[in-house]
Amino acid sequence: MAKGKRPLADFAAYNKHWANPSNDPLDIEGHERRREHYDQSIHFCRYPFGPEPQPSAMARQEHYMAHRLRLEAEMTVLDVGCGFGGLAREIAKFADCKVVGLNIHAYQVEKAKEFAQKQNIGEDVFEIVRKIPFPDNSFDAVYAIEATVHSPSLVAVYSEVFRVLKPGGRFGVYEWVMMDPAFDSDNMHHIALRNGIERGNGIPSLRKSGEATDAMRKAGFDLEPWWYFCAGDTKYSQGVTDWARIARMTRLGRVVFDLLLRSLELCRVVRKGTAAMAKEMIHGGDCIAEAGRNGLFTPMFLMIGLKKNSDG
């Protein structure tokens, strides 16, 4: 046997292992999740602390998208590039909304319809189309997960999404990008890596992160910043509780909060210096918002450290 080749028996054993769950309820549940979701929806996702099956992690990532889009029951949502429809059906079940899947691939469209029929999911919950003939302002929300990267023009596809999205609606997108300013277009190794990603994944051209955000703005979108809370920007608040938290960071909220703490200090309800400490913390929040606004800082830079065994 040639070096690097694996016998077909190995692959047969692998498929048999995953196709036949044991009588363990957890194993059966995992098997069903794989068949109903993972086999029909593949994308990157984050993992929490501790082990978690990949299908569950992917579903959680999709639920997070639903949360960020503020999906509610009876909304009509568009999935741009829905593939086999696994993601769309997961979103529909989780948010109790209708999802319309958009896909130009004929085979995937037919399989998506077949999977939906097997799961007894009617067109009142999940519908799939190959074209975007929708009139303006058709959808309450739109999302695309690792799909629009295949479009020759992000501005064009984002603009079409903007057209069919209702005023006040949200468009969430997980986009593949090369990161600014780390990616150097004059660095031959960087270029080789980008070309390898493009060739291996059928991508016409990977954009830089700045190009993707510029495309969203050119399409007409107002990007929702992660630092809106620190900036006291109430227009991005997510409900009454979130609005109350943000209101503390507005100019009026800061004055009221400062007066309240000073009054509590005078009454000896809180320790002396509490107001001064709060002022310093608020200044720190201002700096976070300013740095985030200018692309200088993120509080979500992830590093994984491994402590080696003493024996090497």
Residue 263 belongs to a domain: yes
Q: What are phi and psi of 133, to 5 degrees?
A: -85, 15
> What domain count does the chain have?
2
- 68 and 202 fall within a common domain: yes
- 211 and 232 fall within a common domain: no
Hey, is 100 helix, strand or coil?
strand
Q: What predicted TM-score, i.e. pTM, was given to this entire model?
A: 0.65
User: Residue 113 maps to which CATH number?
Assistant: 3.40.50.150
- 69 and 153 fall within a common domain: yes
Residue 66 belongs to a domain: yes
Q: 208: which strand partners?
A: 178
Residue 284: domain span: 228-293
Instruction: Determine the pLDDT at residue 7.
Output: 41
Closest CA relative to residue 166, chosen from 147, 134, 139, 206: 139
- 207 and 114 fall within a common domain: yes
Characterize 32-55 residue by residue with b for buried, 16 or more Cβ atoms within 10 angstroms of its Cβ, and e for exposed. Answer: ebbbbbbebbbeebeeeeeeeeeb
Q: Taking 50 as the threshold, does the pLDDT of residue 4 lie above it?
A: no
Residue 11 belongs to a domain: no
Q: Taking 80 as the threshold, does the pLDDT of residue 200 lie above it?
A: no
What are the angstrom distances between the C-alpha of 122 and each of 23, 119, 201, 239? Answer: 31, 9, 32, 32
- 158 and 287 fall within a common domain: no
| pLDDT tens, residue by residue, 118-157 | 766 656 555 555 567 789 999 999 999 888 888 889 999 9
Average pLDDT over the chain, rounded to an integer: 74
- 64 and 168 fall within a common domain: yes
Residue 7 belongs to a domain: no
Which has the higher per-residue pLDDT, 163 or 302? 163
Residue 39 belongs to a domain: no
- 69 and 193 fall within a common domain: yes
- 134 and 211 fall within a common domain: yes
- 185 and 257 fall within a common domain: no
- 143 and 179 fall within a common domain: yes
Residue 311 belongs to a domain: no
Residue 306 belongs to a domain: no
Last residue of a domain, one of 219, 249, 275: 219
| pLDDT tens, residue by residue, 225-276 | 777 767 777 776 666 666 777 777 788 888 888 888 889 988 988 899 888 8
